[in-house]
Homo-oligomer: A and B are copies of this chain.
Amino acid sequence: MNTTPLYRQLANHYLDAIRTGTLKAGERFPSIRLMMEKHAVSLSTAVQVCRALEDQGVLEARPRSGNFIRQPDKPKPPAPAAPVPLDSAVYVGIHQQVSSVLKASQQAAVKINFASAYCAPELYPLKTLQTHMAKTLRVDRHLLGAPGSACGNPVLRQVLARRALASKANMPAERIVITNGATEAINLALRAVTQPGDTVAVESPTFYGLLQILESLNLRVLEVPTTAHSGLNLFALEQMLKGPEPVRAMIVIPNLQNPLGSIMPDTHKARLVELCDEHGTVLIEDDTYGDLVDTEQPLSTLKHWDRNDNLIYCASLNKTLAPGIRLGWISAGRWHERVEMLKHTQTRGCEALSQLAVSAFMKSPSYERYLRRLRKILTEQRQQTSAAIIRYFPAGTRATAPRGGTLLWVELPRQLSAMTLFHEALKVGIQITPGDIFSNTQRFGHCLRIACGTPFSSRIDEALQTLGRLLDEQR
């Protein structure tokens, strides 16, 4: 699909970063070694990138010091998109069902929790983060003396902009807004581009929290079939976009979709961006799980393929860093000013302390080390849990084998009910998430989500055995 040579693609990527100010004039350019590592390219490609940028007068080589950035151009203004048309979307109406599942769980005495998408506390760098917080409190005596800046702390915004480069996305720090988690980011994205009554497309199945957000904003939802193998079904999407009803926005989790764990191939990512462009549908990317993908090279984001600034990128730190850190961010492209205004009127700027502590940690080399270790642990946990499911659950059960994260999606033989299992399991202190709440359709009644964020143990093994027994009793 992309006929531009690889070195040219990468050179363009860094050119954009320089144009938009993420990399600044006078700064050192990423080393050949770093580029090879981050982008999984050969030595010769990395060298070609630098040479191309030197030829364009963007880099200057300083003997013994490496390459430095010369002079950035001005960013180009984004081209405007035209609005276009689909099928029959529904008002979500799922909140009652989700609430009743969540309330039942809260009221039960849960001993084994397969519902939480978080990792076990001991897998997070809690001590390191608390040390950074304590240090920030000691050093910055005026931390609480001024309100947080509206768009978030500049240091954290810069750290995030730099990291985004590695997944080949350009998000200048000045166009990032720090939010209260990805939840607020997605909320702001939807408030920025939709009106109540508009239709928004989502993957099906999708994270129930997203359906709740859509319902709270009085939006209509169009569910697009999605598979564990390659994510969103683009053919189905195209048919829907060609339908009579305009689809205002589409929300996608391209890497480690929740609940399927699917990863969209690059060609699909590129085509999705193109499709949304063609139909005037705003693409909203949720990259909350991107850092949990079990590969050394970060996968590309949808944002990377976005040429017309028709995409809003959202992400969160609380799944990768700590559940108690309520930080997310949004890079809203051409809607930046509107998102900034909405953030100001919705919650004002976030508190500074956790932003500063997180920045300090993410800037240190121990962050990457921590992520590598976490990914390895989670891979093991997924494999062990998955093996136990196949061992104990009824014949015909299938489970996904995602390339990262904590979530497994389990398909039972069709005649079995995950909702019945949910209620029976709660009675014995085991919590699962029934497939029913991941969609407004009845298509996932025989599915469930099993999270394996907690290190595998005999207790977990026994709990999975119990689930298998409860399913046998349904027959």
Residues of A within 8 A of B (CB): 95, 99, 118, 121, 124, 126-127, 129-130, 133-134, 137-138, 141-148, 179-181, 183-184, 187, 191, 195-196, 209, 212-213, 215-216, 318, 322-326, 341-342, 344-354
Contact = CB atoms under 8 A, between A and B. Distances in A.
A322 B99 contact: no
A347 B142 CA distance: 26
A398 to B, nearest CB: 30
A118 B133 contact: no
A148 B324 contact: yes
A180 B180 contact: yes
A180 B137 CA distance: 21
B351 A325 contact: yes
Contacts of A184: 346-347
Contacts of A143: 126, 130, 324
B323 A144 contact: yes
Contacts of A187: 345-347
Nearest to A191: B216
A134 B144 contact: no
Given A180-B347, A324-B351, A342-B216, A144 B118 contact: no
A397 B148 CA distance: 35
- Among A118, A142, A345: residue with most chain B CB under 10 A: A345
A121 B142 CA distance: 7
A381 to B, nearest CB: 17
Contacts of A325: 144, 351
B322 A212 contact: no
A326 B346 contact: no
Contacts of A349: 326
A133 B353 contact: yes
Nearest to A197: B196
Given A124-B145, A130-B144, A143-B130, A216 B324 contact: no
B133 A347 contact: no
A213 B212 CA distance: 22
Given A138-B134, A144-B124, A353-B133, A209 B345 contact: yes
A209 B126 CA distance: 37
24 contacts: A99-B341, A121-B142, A121-B146, A124-B145, A126-B142, A126-B143, A130-B137, A130-B141, A133-B133, A134-B134, A137-B137, A143-B324, A146-B323, A148-B324, A148-B326, A179-B347, A180-B350, A187-B345, A191-B216, A209-B345, A212-B341, A212-B344, A212-B345, A213-B345
Given A183-B345, A345-B187, A145 B121 contact: yes
Contacts of A126: 141-145
Given A144-B324, A180-B350, A187-B346, 4 more contacts: A133-B133, A147-B318, A216-B342, A326-B348
